[in-house]
Structure 1
């Protein structure tokens, strides 16, 4: 039964049907052909999958990210990044990395990070003589930081599924995001030295101070969100609501780049993105329920449990499964489908669920720019006449670099767990 079920799912995916249709159609066929269970339960499970307070943060963070991008905060933050690292060898490439880290801490979305940073810096990199494929590949790879560095929509979904603290996951993501960014910054510097690029004069301190002053309202957002969560002032969902109000206030009354008309447009765009995410979440909830009730989850968990005595081998298998899934599915689908299959086995093997969440997150970040269906490949194709082929050729060398980061995070759990253990010792 299990082999036939997963063959059916794979076949529907190959036909190119939308993910939520594949998940629901598979459950429908499974119930209709082999069970007397009422098909109405599919609808009930879809709605119950959305009946979660932490998931309310998703539409709010999406709206906040779009408001920040529209209000010009991303351009101001990127200017600060440029002044900080631009004078070094490979400064523009390093600006792409640091800019993605800054904007990832605001948007919580990988595609939004790629678009916001790419529109501003990709033309400049190509004009400065950077290889076009490398420029696009770096943008896609570092744009994936949007789902690692908090606030992360992926971590909200994982926390809701696994029943772990979203605040602790956010803290764990800081360590992983810093390591990811540091590895790519080092690679940019090495590549620039090898190409014989020269460093540039550092800007006057007054110019940097002015840039920070202009961007201070944007730079304060992660501090407000994370500080409020970790101090206990508000929950992650309440933090998302605060970020919406804050970004709208800054855009309307401080920078005055937002108008009521543009806010209405941003709300419509955010509603569409939210619907795309939530329909997958609801369909995946029904799919996960069917996997559990039909004992398909138990069968796979039993197979994986045979590896529970060997923690490293189990982690290797989990990583391979998620990496392959990331080539075809979006991160939210992956976490909702796979977490019920692996969470209990991972616990039995002594794997910390917060560390596991970061591992899955980094895997999915890599999947965002891994051919053939990594989402960032298609997002980048909308920038500066980039073709899909150029995006793929630019991504492949950097996939290997990202895999080095993944190995580091797997081997050294303290990268993820140190900050949560210090700041939140009771979790």
Structure 2
């Protein structure tokens, strides 16, 4: 039963049906073949899958990220990053990494990070002698930090599906994001030294302080969001609402780069993105319910546990499966389809579900720039006005670097778990 059902789902995806159609249609066919099961259950399960308070954070964080990008916050933050690390050997490349980490902390979206940072850094790095393929690859790889550094839409979806604290996931993502960024910092320094790129002059403390003063409204956003969550002032969903109000205020009245026309466009664009995410979540809720109610989830869990009861062996298997899935599916689809299948297995062998969430997050971040269907590949090729094949050649060497960061996060769970265990009692 389980094997034939997944063959059917794979076939529907292979013929090019949208993910939400493929999942819903598979459940419809499965229920239709079972006598006495009302098909209305599909609609009920789709709506109940969206009836979740934590999921309300998704449209709000999407809107907040778009407001910050359009309202001028990202440009000012990137200038601070450039003044901080730009004078170092390989400083421009390091600025791309730093800027992606900063912007990831306010957007929660990988493609949005690539576009926002790439618009400014791609021409600058190319003019300063950096190879264009390397520059595009670095933008794609570090743009993936948008779903690792909190607040992360991926972590919100994972937390809702797996029943894990979103606040704890956000804290765990900080350590993983810093490790991921540190790996690329080291490579940027090595690459610059190999290519004979010299350090640039230090612009002076005064210029740095002036840039920080100009960007202080943007730099305060991660402190406001994460500090409010960890301090118990508001929930992640309430934090998203605060971020929207704050970003709109700064864009309209402080930097004055937002007007009513651009505000309306940002709202429309955010609504479209939200609809795309939510319809997949609703379809996946019905899909997950079907897997559970028919016993397919338990069958798969039992099969995996029969292979091995070693946490390391099962983690290796999970990493391989998610890395392959990331080549073809977006992160939210992956977490919704796979988490119901593996969460019981992870729990049975003692894998911490917060640590598992971070591992899946880093895997999916790598999938964002892995051929053939990594979203960042298409975004970067359009941004750099290059062929898709050139974007792939730029990304492939950096996939291995990202996998090194993934290995470190897997082998050393405390990187992810130290902060949430320190702050959250009982973890």
1:83 alignment counterpart: 83
**5+ residue gaps in structure 1?**
none
1:185 alignment counterpart: 185
Structure 1 segment 296-311 matched on structure 2, within 5 A: 296-307=296-307, 309-311=309-311
Take 2:380 and 2:113, find their aligned partners in 1: how far apart are those partners? 11
Structure 1 segment 121-200 matched on structure 2, within 5 A: 121-200=121-200
Take 2:81 and 2:148, find their aligned partners in 1: how far apart are those partners? 19
1:332 alignment counterpart: 332
Structure 1 segment 105-116 matched on structure 2, within 5 A: 105-116=105-116
* Contact 2:136/2:384 (8 A) holds in 1: no
- Cα deviation for residue 306 of structure 1 reads 2.1
Secondary structure at the counterpart of residue 383 of structure 1: helix
Aligned-CA RMSD value: 1.0
Take 2:288 and 2:414, find their aligned partners in 1: how far apart are those partners? 31
1:58 alignment counterpart: 58
- Cα deviation for residue 36 of structure 1 reads 3.1
Take 1:160 and 1:86, find their aligned partners in 2: how far apart are those partners? 39
Secondary structure at the counterpart of residue 234 of structure 2: coil
Q: TM-score, normalised by structure 2?
A: 0.98
Take 1:425 and 1:196, find their aligned partners in 2: how far apart are those partners? 50
* Contact 1:54/1:236 (8 A) holds in 2: yes
Q: TM-score, normalised by structure 1?
A: 0.98
- Cα deviation for residue 33 of structure 1 reads 2.6
- Cα deviation for residue 407 of structure 1 reads 0.6
2:96 aligned with 1:96: yes
The worse-fitting range, judged by mean Cα deviation, of 26-35 and 231-240 is: 26-35
Structure 1 segment 239-258 matched on structure 2, within 5 A: 239-258=239-258
Secondary structure at the counterpart of residue 36 of structure 2: coil
- Cα deviation for residue 345 of structure 1 reads 1.0
1:395 alignment counterpart: 395
Query: Structure 1's 142 and 88: CA in aligned 2 closer, same or farther, altered over 3 A?
Result: same
- Cα deviation for residue 140 of structure 1 reads 0.5
1:10 alignment counterpart: 10
Take 1:349 and 1:294, find their aligned partners in 2: how far apart are those partners? 23
Structure 1 segment 412-423 matched on structure 2, within 5 A: 412-423=412-423
* Contact 1:90/1:192 (8 A) holds in 2: yes
- Cα deviation for residue 48 of structure 1 reads 0.4
Secondary structure at the counterpart of residue 291 of structure 1: helix
The worse-fitting range, judged by mean Cα deviation, of 121-130 and 55-64 is: 121-130
- Cα deviation for residue 35 of structure 1 reads 4.4
Take 1:354 and 1:289, find their aligned partners in 2: how far apart are those partners? 22
**5+ residue gaps in structure 2?**
none
* Contact 2:20/2:283 (8 A) holds in 1: yes
Q: Give the 4+ runs in structure 1 shifted more than 4 A.
A: none
Take 2:354 and 2:402, find their aligned partners in 1: how far apart are those partners? 20
- Cα deviation for residue 307 of structure 1 reads 4.4
- Cα deviation for residue 89 of structure 1 reads 1.3
